[in-house]
């Protein structure tokens, strides 16, 4: 890979955006938001075939995708040892030999995402790496535990060292059109996060309509969310291109009105390198290059990294390696 190509795409300079302070709930704006489902679905259907990057450029885009991955383990059988192995993978997501052949060094993932009980182990394992720990919180994945416990859970994860908190909203507020309740809930979560960035998980597969997705996205941003995220990964329907298009355009509208950039995180079901390229292309088309950095875009994934590794190895060697050679831990 040429150095120029790598610098332009894979190693975009890292900058830091100001936190989203939120704003007063504007119900006129929220209720005025609509979603033309048929038009959105038509546009989304064209995305996989609209843009194709090959050879060095494809490899550079895939390296960029790795830097935007929230490497995740959210299983009931998680152990400290598993989390430590995952963190080792986060520090060195691609073999040094492949990175050297691609003219890259110092590549890491965007974050490691775990349950609260594993935050301390992840923080210790990532010490000195600059990789933040994200904790899922607020009664993840259903978000149905008592409210005071959800707020307390955020505080405990921040105290344990989590720099990012992925919260789940109460779906009933969206389904019942109670935007004031959603706003107040999100504000409370944002306040409890303190210095930690907050990602609002909408669980879009359970919100019923794309219009609900658009309105919920907007309310969460008004309430101070730093990121909006599609899914917990535990729903029957997770990240999709139509949902992503709706959420990304809500982010664009919010930025145009407030000047604040909000991050986006599709999660669940994105496991192939070719899918990652489609999402990156969508972000570039709809939001621009500034969103192609890990402070404003993340993939919620684990198996995605393995497929990207195989594609990069094929780019360097001309042969595909076995999947077991790219274990997550």
Strand bridging mode 263-265 / 197-201: unpaired
- Mark whether 166 is an active-site residue: yes
Q: How far apart are CA 165 and CA 182, in angstroms?
A: 17
- Mark whether 275 is an active-site residue: no
CA 152-157-162 angle, 5° bins:
150
- Mark whether 284 is an active-site residue: no
- Among 56, 166, 295, 307, the active-site one is 166
- Among 70, 199, 229, 275, the active-site one is 229
Residues paired with residue 72 on neighbouring β-strands, in sequence order: 113
- Among 56, 70, 226, 265, the active-site one is 265
**What length is written for the chain?**
329
Write the DSSP string, 275-321. Answer: HHHHHHHHHHHHT-GGGSSTTTB-EEESHHHHHHHHHHHHHHHSSPP
- Residue 165 near residue 135, CB atoms below 8 Å: yes
What are the catalytic residues? 166, 229, 265
């Amino acid at each position: 890979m040429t150095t120029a190509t790598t610098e332009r795409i894979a190693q975009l300079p890292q900058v830091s955006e100001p936190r989203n302070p939120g704003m007063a709930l504007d119900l006129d704006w929220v209720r005025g938001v609509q979603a033309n489902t048929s038009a959105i679905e038509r546009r989304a259907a064209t995305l996989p075939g609209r843009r194709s990057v090959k050879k060095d450029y494809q490899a550079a885009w895939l390296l960029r995708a790795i830097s935007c991955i929230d490497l995740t383990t959210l299983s009931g059988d998680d152990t400290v040892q598993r989390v430590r192995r995952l963190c080792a993978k986060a520090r060195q997501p691609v073999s040094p030999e492949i990175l050297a052949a691609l003219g890259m060094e110092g590549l890491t993932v965007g974050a490691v995402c775990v349950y609260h009980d594993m935050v301390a182990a992840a923080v210790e394992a990532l010490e000195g790496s600059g990789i933040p720990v994200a904790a899922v919180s607020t009664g993840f994945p259903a978000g149905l535990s008592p409210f005071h416990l959800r707020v307390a859970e955020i505080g405990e994860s921040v105290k344990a060292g989590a720099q990012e908190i992925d919260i789940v909203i109460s779906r009933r507020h969206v389904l019942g059109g109670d935007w004031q309740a959603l706003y107040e809930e999100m504000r409370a979560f944002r306040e409890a996060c303190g210095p930690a960035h907050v990602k609002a998980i909408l669980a879009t597969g359970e919100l019923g309509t794309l219009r609900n997705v658009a309105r919920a996205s907007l309310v969460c941003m008004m309430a101070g969310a730093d990121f909006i995220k599609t899914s917990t990964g535990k729903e029957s329907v997770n990240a999709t291109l139509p949902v992503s298009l709706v959420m990304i355009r809500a982010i664009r509208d919010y930025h145009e009105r407030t000047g604040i950039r909000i991050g986006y995180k599709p999660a669940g079901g994105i496991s192939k390198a070719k899918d990652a390229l489609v999402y990156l292309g969508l972000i570039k088309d709809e939001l621009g290059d500034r969103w192609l950095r890990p402070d404003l875009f993340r993939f919620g994934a684990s198996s995605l990294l393995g497929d990207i590794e195989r594609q990069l190895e094929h780019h360097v060697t001309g042969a595909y390696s076995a999947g077991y050679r790219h274990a997550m831990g």
